[in-house]
């Protein structure tokens, strides 16, 4: 296991904090284990009022990008079942979620409160 350090630089004028994660050689790190993702799988899932799996558990997952093509919100759960009351993220119509997984590689499910919408998924793996 290699040592990973973080370089923090505070910016002025109320701008965002710039953070770079680098390995011992000073190279930027994007994967949990220091590797850089090399593969991506693109799929489309139709979200409806019945909970369904968006992506199966995958130990090689490094990133997940979810785009809701519909006009209504979808509810994404880091669990085997999603409900409109128990979910991890709500993604509004015609919006994309590209958030941190925080090492989560388990099953991800989706549901809508009404109607259907196409959900575009990009799962990035090592």
Where residue 74 sits, what CATH number does that domain have? 2.60.120.770
Question: What string of pLDDT tens digits covers the 126 residues of the chain?
Answer: 455 555 555 555 555 555 566 666 666 565 555 667 889 999 999 999 999 999 999 999 999 999 999 999 999 999 999 999 999 999 999 999 997 777 899 999 999 999 999 999 999 998
Instruction: List the domain range (segments joined by +) for residue 105.
Output: 37-125
The answer on 114 and 72 residing in a single domain is yes
For the question of whether the overall pTM of this predicted structure is more than 0.75, the answer is no
CA 14-17-19 angle, 5° bins: 165
Compute the Cα dihedral for 27, 33, 39, 41 and give only its sign: negative
Q: How many domains does the chain have?
A: 2
DSSP state of 36: P
């Amino acid at each position: 296991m290699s040592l990973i350090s973080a370089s923090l630089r505070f910016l002025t004028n109320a701008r965002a904090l710039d953070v770079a994660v680098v390995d011992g050689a000073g190279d930027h790190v994007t994967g949990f284990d220091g590797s850089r993702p090399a593969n991506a799988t693109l799929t489309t899932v139709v979200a409806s009022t019945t909970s369904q799996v968006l992506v199966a558990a995958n130990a090689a997952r490094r990133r997940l990008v979810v785009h809701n093509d519909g006009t209504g919100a979808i509810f994404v759960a880091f669990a085997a079942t999603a409900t409109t009351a128990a979910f991890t993220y709500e993604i509004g119509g015609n919006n994309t979620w590209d958030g941190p997984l925080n090492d989560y590689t388990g099953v991800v499910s989706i549901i809508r409160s009404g109607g259907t919408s196409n959900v575009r998924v990009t799962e990035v793996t090592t």
